[in-house]
C-alpha cells in the first residue's frame, strides 16, 4: 500500500484478532501541510479514490491552495466573516461590497436560526447531511422556500470563502437540496387606472409616483434621486445611488442597476413642474426629499395617497413596488424589447426580466405559428 494511505477496519472486525476480515474496509489518506504543521486526512471507500485524492491534495499544498481544516467553530467563522464583510474586506462573487441591507439580513438569519443550533460545532465538522436535516426540518415546520434560501445564503458565502481562502476541503452547502420558490406574481395596473390614481394625489406627491410608474425606479433609488441626475435636455433619469435606511446613500443594488432611463413626456412634465417649484435647490439636493438631504418615507407617502384615493372614491390602491412592475408592463405594451427592458429595469440578467414579465410579453402559440409559416413560405 502506498505511503500516506492506511486501511481501516471497523472496531468490531475480527481482523483485529488475526481472524478473517468481516467488515467493510475503508481507506484513510493523509498529507502533511508544512504551513499548518498538521496532517490533512480524508477517508474513502476505495483505495483508488484515496490514492487519487492524496496525489491531488499534495499538488494543492505545493500550490498553496490547500490548508489543514480550521479549528474555528461556525459561530467564530460567522462573526469573522460578517465583520470582514461590514468593513468591505469580504466581497461578493462579483467583487462588489455587500449591501448593508444584505448583511443585516445575513446577520439576522445566522443569529436567529442557524447559530443557536450549529454555532458551537467546528466549521470543518459540519456536513451536508447535517445541513440537509436542518433544511428538511425547517421546511416541514412550514418555512417558505424563500425564507429557507435566505437562511442558507450566508452559510453558502461563509463556506465558499472558507474553501477558497481557508483551505477547507469540502463545502457542505454545495449539494444541498433546497425547495424551489414559487414563481412570483407581479401586480400591475392598467394605464388608465395609473393615470386616475396619479391625478387624484397631492401635487407634491405626483412626481414621486410618476417616476415609479414611468421610469420604474426602485424605492431606494427614488429616495436617493438627486436633481443633477435628471437631464431634461437629453430626456433621461440617471440612477447612480440608492438609499439604505441605516447607511444612507449607497451604490445601487447591483452593477447593472447603474443605468440611464428614458424620460417620457408625462414624466418630464411632472419633474419639470417640481423643479420649477424649487428653482434654488442645488443639483445635489434630493428630488423628492423632505429636505435637500433627508429622503421621504414610504409610510408617509402611502398614508397621504390612501387618504386622497379614499376621498376621490377610488377602490384601487397602488404601492411603489407595484408601480415599478406596472412600468415594465407599460414598456412591454409599447413594444420595447426584453433586452432594453432589462437594462432600463436595472436587472442583473435578462433571465430575471423573462422570469418576472415573460407572461406579459406578446407571442401566443397561434401568433408564433403564423410567423413561422410566413417565414417558411418566403423560402419556398
Maximal CA-CA distance, the chain: 97
Residue-level pLDDT at 167: 66
Alpha carbon separation from 192 to 84, 101, 196 (Å, rounded): 50, 35, 6
C-alpha distances (whole Å) from 234 to each of 155, 228, 230, 305 are: 45, 13, 9, 31
- The model's pTM: 0.72
- Do the beta carbons of residue 81 and residue 157 sit within 8 Å? yes
Which residues of the chain have a pLDDT value below 50? none
DSSP summary character for residue 286: B
pLDDT at residue 211, rounded to an integer:
97
For residue 185, give Cα distances in angstroms to 60, 189, 318, 322. Answer: 47, 13, 15, 11
Q: How many CB atoms lie within 10 A of CB 149?
A: 16
Query: Over the stretch 251-303, which tens digit does the pLDDT of each residue have?
Result: 988 888 999 999 999 999 999 999 999 888 999 999 999 999 999 999 999 99
pLDDT score of 135: 94
Quick: pLDDT tens for 28-57: 998 998 877 888 888 888 999 999 989 998
Predicted pLDDT of residue 186: 78
Give the total residue count for the chain.
Answer: 380
Q: Could you tell me the domains of the chain?
A: 5-63 (no CATH), 74-165 (1.10.150), 191-360 (1.10.443.10)
Q: Could you tell me which of 266, 267, 291, 183 has the C-alpha nearest to residue 217?
A: 267
260-265-267-269 Cα dihedral, nearest 10 degrees: 130
Place of cell 411603489: 320
- Using an 8 Å Cβ cutoff, are 110 and 118 in contact? no
Amino acid at each position: 500500500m502506498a505511503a500516506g494511505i492506511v486501511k481501516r477496519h471497523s472496531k468490531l472486525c475480527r481482523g483485529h484478532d488475526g481472524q478473517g476480515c468481516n467488515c467493510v474496509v475503508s481507506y484513510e489518506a493523509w498529507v502533511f501541510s508544512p504551513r499548518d504543521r498538521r496532517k490533512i486526512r480524508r477517508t474513502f471507500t476505495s483505495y483508488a479514490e484515496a490514492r487519487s485524492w492524496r496525489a491531488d491534495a499534495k499538488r494543492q499544498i505545493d500550490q498553496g491552495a490547500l490548508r489543514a481544516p480550521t479549528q474555528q467553530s461556525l459561530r467564530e467563522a460567522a462573526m469573522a466573516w460578517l465583520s470582514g464583510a461590514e468593513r468591505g474586506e469580504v466581497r461578493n462573487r462579483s467583487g462588489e461590497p455587500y449591501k448593508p441591507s444584505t448583511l443585516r439580513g445575513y446577520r439576522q438569519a445566522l443569529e436567529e436560526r442557524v447559530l443557536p443550533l450549529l454555532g458551537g460545532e467546528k466549521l470543518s465538522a459540519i456536513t451536508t447531511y447535517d445541513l440537509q436535516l436542518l433544511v428538511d426540518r425547517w421546511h416541514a415546520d412550514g418555512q417558505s422556500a424563500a425564507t429557507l434560501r435566505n437562511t442558507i445564503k450566508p452559510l453558502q458565502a461563509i463556506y465558499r470563502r472558507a474553501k477558497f481562502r481557508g483551505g477547507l476541503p469540502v463545502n457542505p452547502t454545495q449539494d444541498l437540496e433546497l425547495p424551489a420558490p414559487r414563481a412570483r406574481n407581479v401586480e400591475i395596473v392598467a394605464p388608465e387606472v395609473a393615470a386616475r390614481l396619479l391625478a387624484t394625489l397631492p401635487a407634491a406627491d405626483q412626481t414621486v409616483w410618476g417616476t415609479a410608474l414611468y421610469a420604474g425606479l426602485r424605492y431606494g433609488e427614488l429616495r436617493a434621486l438627486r436633481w443633477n441626475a435628471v437631464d431634461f435636455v437629453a430626456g433621461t433619469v440617471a440612477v447612480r445611488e440608492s438609499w439604505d435606511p441605516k447607511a444612507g446613500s449607497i451604490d445601487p443594488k447591483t452593477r447593472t442597476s447603474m443605468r440611464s432611463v428614458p424620460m417620457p413626456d408625462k414624466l418630464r412634465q411632472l419633474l419639470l413642474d417640481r423643479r420649477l417649484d424649487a428653482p434654488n435647490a442645488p443639483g445635489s439636493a434630493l428630488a423628492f426629499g423632505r429636505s435637500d438631504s433627508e429622503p421621504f418615507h414610504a409610510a408617509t407617502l402611502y398614508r397621504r395617497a390612501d387618504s386622497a384615493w379614499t376621498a376621490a372614491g377610488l377602490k384601487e390602491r397602488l404601492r411603489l413596488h407595484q408601480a415599478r412592475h406596472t412600468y415594465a408592463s407599460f414598456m412591454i405594451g409599447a413594444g420595447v424589447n426584453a433586452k432594453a427592458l432589462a437594462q432600463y429595469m436595472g436587472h442583473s440578467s435578462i433571465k430575471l426580466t423573462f422570469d418576472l414579465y415573460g407572461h406579459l410579453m406578446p407571442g401566443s402559440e397561434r401568433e408564433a405559428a403564423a410567423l413561422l409559416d410566413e417565414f417558411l413560405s418566403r423560402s419556398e
